[in-house]
Amino acid sequence: MTPKPSSAEPSLVIGVDIGGTKTAFGLVRFPDGQVVARQEMKTPQGAASGAAFLDQVCAAVAQLRDETPGVQGIGLGLCELVDLDGGVSSGHRVQWNGLPVLARLKEIAPAVIEADVRAAALAEARWGAGKGYRDLLYLNIGTGISTCWVKDGVPHAGAHGHALAIASSPMVAACPVCGTHSAYILEDVAGGAALAHLYGAAIGRKIDSASEVLAAAAEGESRAQSLLAEAAQLIGVSAGLAINILDPAALVIGGGLGAREGPYSQAIEASIRRQVWSDQARQLPIRRAALGSESGLIGAAASWWVRSLSSDALKVDV
């Protein structure tokens, strides 16, 4: 039986961060939340992201366990809906819905599964840009877009574990002058995958990532600049609405696009502030994720470590 750790004793946990573009495996040491080993692979797409990918992940985790004496658990963060029991409830990017993912991992070591945005939010709240705030909103802008509210260091999961989909519902409006209806789904126009697709369609060639769109905009390419300006405006609408509802003490923006400094992130921040109704709330701190690409990996492992502790150890010092 794996011994139950205390908050002060060193623990070594396997973390797996499965995003829409890449998957990271690693070893994370607690209580300091330090990554001590890391490897990365591309996340397969479509049918290839189903059972065969699960087999591949389990094999990699088992090998990491065998090579590392003293591993106490496994935490996996996934870019899908994950219910309160660790069941995968969607298959938008990774087709694991209906598969016994948690059971497979538990055959290797004690394990938990968490939505990737909640995992990253947990890491930033405890060791990153959100440290010191009892109440914060974490916004992930990467291949997709999602969000998590953190209260007293605990990511809010909602009644079903699905409190993260800020960018998946259609936004529909009618022009009060001409009556024309417009509709968009935020992730389909502002997520990293969407930006690459839309820019590729505009210039007539395949674009592999949103990084190419940012680079083109920095060089003055008007179509790239227009796409990013519109995306920043629309992200501000949804994020500003969330701030108006929750009134958090701070906003932390992470993800491959969100945590990147530059004109695009500045445009997003300006748009968010324009959408916040309260003069006081409009001045809230907006911080870039401090853990960078490691927030998801640290948070995935931390999801297991935190749940393994006593309730007293879950309290966050600020």
Note the pLDDT of residue 179: 72
Percent of the chain with pLDDT over 70: 93
Rank 103-117, 162-176, 255-269, 298-312 by mean pLDDT and report only the highest.
103-117
- pLDDT tens digits for range 149-181: 999 999 999 999 999 999 888 777 666 777 776
| pLDDT grade for 316, boundaries at 50, 70 and 90 | very low
Range in 84-88, 141-145, 170-174, 314-318 the model is least confident about: 314-318
Beta-strand pair 11-18/286-288: unpaired
Can you give the pTM of this predicted structure? Answer: 0.90
Q: What is the mean pLDDT of residues 134-144?
A: 94
Note the pLDDT of residue 310: 55
Percent of the chain with pLDDT over 90: 82
- pLDDT tens digits for range 213-262: 999 999 999 999 999 999 999 999 999 999 999 999 999 999 989 988 88
Q: What is the mean pLDDT of the chain?
A: 91
